[in-house]
Amino acid sequence: MGCACARDHATDERYERLEAALKEWAGRPGALIPALHRAQQIFGYLPEDVMIRIAEALDVRLAEVYGVATFYSFFSLKPRGKYTIGLCLGTACYVNGAAEVLAALEEALAIRPGETTKDGLFSLSVTRCLGACGLAPVMTVGEEVYGRLTPAKIPGILARYREKEA
């Protein structure tokens, strides 16, 4: 297997599922993207040791694996929080104050877009138009949509999720 952490992996069933998927794809052309997808489904993101293992199993260069993983925005190289916040920075949202809402989110979460809170609860991202411009400014938290946002509404919205976990 060639991985220094093979012993830990033996007790982690996620690595067994990864191995099963890789067995299916080894030797098939065009297997890299589906393999990365599967790995992200299993782990929630693409840890470095997983990318090394995928390169080895599919016989592609590690640089190529990194290249693909960083090119497509649906792949994440960092762990994501339990709830992903997507704040729209499309035109309608922007002119209605999305930048101030973003500043309020950054302050309340103490992170910047692309980062995850220390407690692993929230990841923050900015998005293009979410197709709900009539509600601008808009953000999603997981599957839920919040519109007509103001900076003052942010602490209350975040508190709902924090309370769920308390």
Taking the complex as a whole, how short is the minimal distance between the CB of residue 149 and ligand FES, in angstroms? 10
Note whether 160 and 118 are within 8 A (CB): no
Nearest to 96 by CA among 132, 142, 143: 132
Query: Which phi and psi angles does 27 have, rounded to 5°?
Result: 85, -5
55 or 136: CB nearest ligand FES: 136
- Extract the tokens encoding 8: 């830990």
* Residue closest to ligand FES, measured at CB: 90
18 or 104: CB nearest ligand FES: 104
Q: Give the DSSP H/E element, type plus range, for residue 139.
A: strand 139-141
- Extract the tokens encoding 3: 């991985």
Taking the complex as a whole, how short is the minimal distance between the CB of residue 128 and ligand FES, in angstroms? 8
- Point out which residues bind ligand FES (CB under 6 A): 88, 90-93, 129-133, 136, 138
31 or 132: CB nearest ligand FES: 132
Taking the complex as a whole, how short is the minimal distance between the CB of residue 135 and ligand FES, in angstroms? 7
CA pair distance 166, 160, nearest whole angstrom: 10
Taking the complex as a whole, how short is the minimal distance between the CB of residue 130 and ligand FES, in angstroms? 4
